[in-house]
């Protein structure tokens, strides 16, 4: 049970497929977590607010915290689709907590991955996040979406691979083991790739990323070349963020760690493993609201 | 009026926005043309067939040709969306003409552009067609659609430009006059580019191609570099199609002629202007059906 003198903290990580909430205190850390429905502010703000509240209440109940004490809590919500301060204010004003800070889900991801330290994050999964965290402020490179950004990501690798396969099929460039292997996934039918591409989402392209990682590791020339190209983008992103040799760097996401082999050694001196996820980051940022008081 | 001994020929060019039909004879060439509704076989075969027939009848009426003589005609239909021989047969079997050949709209475009000669076509507009025509047979490179092909096209240039603008905005690479100019079209707002990209169609990206062509011509380093990259793809496509120095080459489409400045001189020795369009090509192919008899 909760000591009534203790400040309650709430962290929320919300995205298009679901949200998660953590409730706890400074001394005990997270007391309980709960999962809930989707919470993308851009697609449906009303639903996001509803799902977030339900999920926070569920976490509080698990922790044995009465709902009517939550109005004294300090909360940090990291939500996908938050693009403007208007979005943040809209959601924050509907929360019944003492203090609510709403950000996009990148700052919570960065804080979680770096465990609250200053440093740099390259989170590479279906998409790409490159970020710097310095004394509680965040800087980003990219994050503009698959169609015009997300270089080095799984979706980017997969789409580049299919483009390459078709160039091989047409005889413009030479097949490698990797392009043969990927073409075989479409029964060597170029029309099937074309049809796939019409409705393919970033996640669909991303399903080919593991093959590319494996092919590159086995020395496939095209595989190595595309991973190198992705790594060059990541190095450029770190440079733009002010990274210097010796700074803390976390490579996270399904693909991040795989790029280590293609990054220059001076980037990897102070490499750390990911400390935690975006929910950890949200809870950590909520706790820092207490410290600021 | 038509001499009843003369064979009638029908050419049709059909696509997603409309179709055109030409009716004529060997000696007189095209007697009349008509425009009609959309005729993309992939999206709606029934509607395509209906619109094609209506348009042919309209052209025949203009030429003073009684509808009931059309059953003796020989027709070539070049239709967008024809991917398989099954598609061709399905449409051909519903046509009331003596002979009907149905192909995709690339062979009619190639035949029209080359005026029926053997040679090579680089048609670069919103998309890219690279083709070789040799003694009535056609070979292609690409044509797999914007998401996984169409390198060098207007859509490809435009998307690459927006990606570049965002890298400049993020400080990963340096702005040039051209990237500044394109960014200004979005009020220097990266979120506006991101939002645009979510629903942008190839044609939407293609609207930026004229700026890129102009910027490159003025010597903008990034503009020159992306046009050079597009030209390298076109050269690779010609090579894959078996192009040799001195072979006839037609550069057509809104962008094709602009690539001349970036292609190696040995590609341009026997360059011709585009002789005609896909409707001309369809009519020409219909006439060759008479010759084959």
pLDDT in tens, A209-248: 999 999 999 999 999 999 999 999 999 999 999 999 999 9
Q: What is the DSSP letter of B75?
A: E
Q: What is the DSSP letter of B98?
A: S
Domain boundaries for CATH 3.30.420.40 within chain A: 8-116+276-290, 154-272
If pLDDT is split at 50, 70 and 90, which confidence band does B2 have?
Answer: low
The span from the CA of B149 to the CA of A196, in Å, is 13
Report the complex ipTM. 0.87
Q: Which residues on chain B are in Cβ contact (under 8 Å) with A194?
A: 144-145, 148-149
Q: Is B49 exposed, middle or buried (0-12, 13-18, 19+ CB in 10 A)?
A: buried
Give the residue among B90, B113, B137, B150 at the shortest CA–CA distance from B13. B113
Give the residue among A258, A253, A186 at the shortest CA–CA distance from A218. A258
A145/B197 touch (CB, cutoff 8 Å), yes or no: yes
pLDDT in tens, A139-152: 999 989 999 999 99
- Going residue by residue through chain A, which has 293 residues, state the pLDDT in tens, using 9 for 90 and above: 455 568 999 999 998 889 999 999 999 999 999 999 999 888 888 999 999 999 999 999 999 999 999 999 999 999 988 888 888 999 999 999 999 999 988 899 999 999 989 999 999 999 999 999 998 899 999 989 999 999 999 999 999 999 999 999 999 999 999 999 999 999 999 999 999 999 999 999 999 999 999 999 999 999 999 999 999 999 999 999 999 999 999 999 899 999 999 999 888 878 888 789 999 999 999 999 986 55
pLDDT in tens, A64-73: 999 999 999 9
The span from the CA of B190 to the CA of B165, in Å, is 8
Domain B8-116+276-290 homologous superfamily, CATH: ATPase, nucleotide binding domain (3.30.420.40)
Q: Compare CB distances from B237 to A172, A191, A200 and report the shortest one's residue.
A: A172
The span from the CA of A141 to the CA of A122, in Å, is 10
B149/A166 touch (CB, cutoff 8 Å), yes or no: yes
Class (C level, CATH) for A154-272 = alpha beta
The span from the CA of B285 to the CA of A203, in Å, is 44
**Residue A32: helix, strand or coil by DSSP?**
strand
The span from the CA of B193 to the CA of B162, in Å, is 7
B32: which strand partners?
A: B23
pLDDT in tens, A237-253: 999 999 999 999 999 98
Chain A contact for B233 (CB, 8 A cutoff): yes
Q: Which residues on chain A are in Cβ contact (under 8 Å) with B193?
A: 144, 148
Structure tokens given for B133: 């025509």
Structure tokens given for A76: 């940090």
Q: Are strands A119-124 and A19-25 parallel, antiparallel or unpaired?
A: unpaired
Please, which residues have CB within 8 angstroms of residue A167's CB and are 6 or more apart in sequence?
A173, B236
CA A274 to chain centre: 12
pLDDT at A2: 53
A170/B141 touch (CB, cutoff 8 Å), yes or no: yes
């Amino acid at each position: 049970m909760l000591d009534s003198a203790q400040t309650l903290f709430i962290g929320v990580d919300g995205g298009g497929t679901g949200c998660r909430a953590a409730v706890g205190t400074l001394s005990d850390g997270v007391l309980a977590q709960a999962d809930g429905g989707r919470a993308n502010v851009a697609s449906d703000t009303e639903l996001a607010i509803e799902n977030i509240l339900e999920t926070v209440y569920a976490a509080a109940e698990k922790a044995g915290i009465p709902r009517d004490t939550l109005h004294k809590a300090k909360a940090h919500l990291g939500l996908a689709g938050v693009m403007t301060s208007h979005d943040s204010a809209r959601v924050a004003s509907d929360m019944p907590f003492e203090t609510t800070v709403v950000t996009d889900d990148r700052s919570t991801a960065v804080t979680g991955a770096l465990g609250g330290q200053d440093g740099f994050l390259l989170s590479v999964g279906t998409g790409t996040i490159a970020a710097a965290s310095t004394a509680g402020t965040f800087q980003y490179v990219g994050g503009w979406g698959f169609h015009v950004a997300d270089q080095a990501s799984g979706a980017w690798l997969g789409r580049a691979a299919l483009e390459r396969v078709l160039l091989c099929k047409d005889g413009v460039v030479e097949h490698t083991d990797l392009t043969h292997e990927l073409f075989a996934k479409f029964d060597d039918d170029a029309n099937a790739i074309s049809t796939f591409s019409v409705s393919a989402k970033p996640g669909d392209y991303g399903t080919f990323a593991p093959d590319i990682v494996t092919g590159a590791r086995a020395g496939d020339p095209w595989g190595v070349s595309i991973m190198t190209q992705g790594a060059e983008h990541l190095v450029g992103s770190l440079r733009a963020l002010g990274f210097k040799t010796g700074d803390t760097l976390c490579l996270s996401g399904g693909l991040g760690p795989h790029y280590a082999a293609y990054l220059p050694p001076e980037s990897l001196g102070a490499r750390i493993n990911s400390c935690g996820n975006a929910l950890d980051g949200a809870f950590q940022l909520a706790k820092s609201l207490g410290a600021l008081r």
